[in-house]
Amino acid sequence: MEAKLRADCVFCRIIDGKESAQVLYENEHVISILDVNPVNFGHALVIPKKHYENFLLLPEEEYSSLLKAVKVVAEAVINGIEPKPEGFNILSNNGFVAGQRIFHVHFHIIPRYLSDGLKFKPIVKRYAKGEIERYADLIRQKINEPKTQIT
């Protein structure tokens, strides 16, 4: 099963050296490459070397190395490319409806410019009376629910 996942995943093929990419950073746990379909030039991806379909499947022991790599690459993008970005976005799309098209967890680092035309303008909703408390309670319930340990 793992072999099939890796064969079908473009990120796994890049990690395995079976497909080329512009590698920006790499260590034992993580690889970073330039996105071939950038929002702005310098748009980078940070990808764990082990295959996990989405962020919720990423084991806790992977968090630290992944987030450290995101910071290293974001600093290099912001301080390394010209024209110098005026800001940046860090995004992770999880699930098709959220825009995920490659089902291997990854983070986008997108350099931003005032004039780039990219707008994140969601249509915000308003909670009806009592709804914000209800949603908060539902979420807190899951956060505080005992987790089953697999031994």
Q: Which residues participate in catalysis according to the annotation?
A: 106
In contact, 113 and 86? CB cutoff 8 Å: yes
Which residue from 27, 120, 19 is spatially nearest to 73, judged by alpha carbons? 27
In contact, 100 and 93? CB cutoff 8 Å: yes
Is residue 24 classed exposed, middle or buried when 0-12, 13-18 and 19+ CB atoms within 10 A define those classes? buried
- SS3 state of residue 108: strand
What span, in angstroms and rounded, lies between the C-alpha atoms of 76 and 44? 10
